[in-house]
Amino acid sequence: MTSRTDESAARTRIVRTARSLFTRGLTHGSTGNLSVRLADGTLLLTPTGSSLGTVEEDELSRTDLSGKHLDGPRPTKETFLHAAFYRARPGALAVAHLHSTYAAAVSCLDDVNPADALPPLTAYYAMRVGTLPLLPYHAPGDSSLEPLAERTARSHHAVLLANHGPVIAGASLEQAADAIEELEETAKLHLLLRGHGTRPLSPEQAAALAPTSP
């Protein structure tokens, strides 16, 4: 069961995180969505067509773990990605997805390593993100991506959707937001450094910091 207090706290945290990401330019227009898994196993998500800058606590959607709409406004059409991450990662209690500029830019490069889209340029990236598989392009809301997303999420808490943006699960919404911000900053560094000789962390240095993700 989910107590009213737990759910009300989750609603407050979703809106607080949404505002913080939006006001700092990490998402724009009506892009990006956040979700939290409640104690009863249902998901609270930002609804379709809403802006993270203006969504309110009483405007969140609820679905089950299959992504089926239970109550509230219609959920984001990217709900299937959130649901896939929660099914694949029983310890994940929150998922963040953004179309943040630099991560989206990296997702459009033609020389990205699909097994790991960004080098471990900094220790904090290695700690909070680690390995970042690139999932192939699918049109927004195309749920044929769901089986691959779920399979990949079993071994990775973060993925980058090609020509789109990142999806990250965390043990809390704050942890998922921290990780997605770290990813965005590393994508920015990566693009700033293109054409320069760079020295990312060695595989050993990165492995020593690898995240223990939920």
Residues serving a catalytic function are: 78, 124
Residue at token pair 């709900």 = 79
Q: Which of 152, 33, 53 is nearest to 97 (CA)?
A: 33
Q: How many Å separate Cα 160 from the centre of its chain?
A: 9
Q: Phi and psi at residue 135, in whole multiples of 5°?
A: -95, 140
Helices 173-192/4-23 angle, 10° precision = 20
User: Cβ(95)–Cβ(168) under 8 Å?
Assistant: yes
Contact residues for 113 (Cβ-Cβ < 8 A; gap 6+): 134
Between β-strands 33-37 and 69-71, what pairing exists: parallel, antiparallel or unpaired? unpaired
